[in-house]
């Protein structure tokens, strides 16, 4: 029997995470507003100079997985329909991917601030930018019916106190005026961190790691995550959703690694 007044370890971690996030928000509010990329004074999270320098890069990407492609593939026809060699040889279960930029300095610091620094305002920045970018894409005309964040394992959610994918998905869905559901997908297996594994191991690690609740038949679903590396997690989720009858699955990720 648990002794009175002693909280379970998981509950204590959750409360400590909540207190930590509150303290970090107070600290951010008390400090001068500085650009997260260059450190200069700014009224916004990112100053105008960095906004122009880093967010408006024209980059040809694979339509299906958003992997950056060589410059010699440029051209309207390629831009609308070209897929990388891997997607052509073995098409993933998701239909398309939108990425705001590459996961490299200095933009990678934004993802790190969101994931490990509890800067949830970065999630809103990513989400709103993804919504604006989605309207300009050839597959953007196919309206998303439901937005789903990539789920965290319960242990990691308790330790961190939030899901960085949900911090992006909520403002993204709000800007698109479509519903979002953080509970439709769940991570049923507490897998090893993907960053420590090679491509084959990543795929095996998440192949049966997720569970779905509720109906998705006939829906166009938008999967949201902060960073896409190999695409193994998104592929596993898309396969689960397609097996359940989803009509289309589009990934919306803040940043994409230049190489798998």
Domains of the chain: 57-256 (3.40.50.2020)
**What are the residues whose beta carbons fall under 8 Å from the beta carbon of 95, sequence distance 6 or more?**
64, 139, 248, 249, 250
Whether the Cβ atoms of residue 190 and residue 155 lie closer than 8 Å to each other: yes
Distances (CA, A) of 118 to 17, 22, 42, 223: 10, 9, 20, 21
78 Rama sector, left if φ>0, alpha if ψ -120 to 50, beta otherwise? alpha
pLDDT reported for residue 205: 67
Whether the Cβ atoms of residue 164 and residue 226 lie closer than 8 Å to each other: yes
The pLDDT mean for the chain works out to 84
pLDDT reported for residue 258: 86
- Each of the 260 residues of the chain gets a pLDDT tens digit; together they read 444 444 455 556 666 666 766 665 565 555 558 899 999 999 889 999 999 888 866 778 999 999 998 765 555 445 446 889 999 999 999 999 999 999 999 999 999 999 999 999 999 999 999 999 998 776 545 789 999 999 998 888 999 999 999 999 999 999 999 999 999 999 987 766 666 666 667 776 677 789 999 999 999 999 999 999 999 999 999 999 999 999 999 999 999 998 75
- Supply the angle between the helices 120-134 and 108-117 in degrees, to the nearest 10: 130
pLDDT reported for residue 19: 72
pLDDT reported for residue 128: 96
pLDDT reported for residue 195: 61
pTM of the prediction?
A: 0.82
Omega within 30 of 0 (cis) for the link into 38: no
């Amino acid at each position: 029997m648990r002794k009175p007044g002693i909280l379970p370890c998981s509950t204590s971690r959750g409360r400590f995470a909540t207190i930590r996030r509150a303290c970090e928000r107070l600290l951010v509010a008390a400090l001068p507003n500085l650009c997260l990329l260059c450190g200069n004074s700014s009224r916004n999270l990112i100053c105008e100079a960095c906004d122009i320098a880093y967010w408006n890069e024209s980059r040809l990407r694979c339509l299906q997985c958003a992997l950056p492609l060589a410059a010699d593939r440029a051209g309207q026809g390629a831009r609308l329909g070209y897929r990388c060699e891997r997607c052509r040889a073995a098409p993933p279960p998701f239909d398309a991917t939108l990425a705001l930029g590459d996961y490299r300095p200095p933009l990678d610091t934004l993802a790190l601030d969101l994931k490990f620094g509890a800067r949830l305002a970065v999630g809103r920045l990513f989400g709103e930018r993804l919504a604006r970018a989605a309207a300009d894409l050839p597959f953007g005309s196919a309206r998303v019916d439901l937005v789903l964040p990539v789920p965290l394992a319960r242990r990691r959610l308790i330790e961190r106190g939030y899901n960085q994918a949900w911090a992006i998905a909520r403002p993204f869905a709000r800007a698109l005026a479509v519903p979002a559901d953080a509970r439709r997908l769940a991570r049923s297996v507490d897998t090893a961190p993907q960053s420590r594994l090679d491509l084959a191991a990543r795929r095996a690690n998440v192949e049966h790691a997720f569970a779905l609740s509720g109906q998705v038949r006939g829906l166009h679903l938008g999967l949201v995550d902060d960073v896409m590396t190999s695409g193994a997690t998104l592929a596993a989720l898309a396969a689960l959703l397609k097996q359940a009858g989803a009509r289309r699955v589009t990934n919306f990720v803040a940043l994409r690694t230049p190489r798998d």
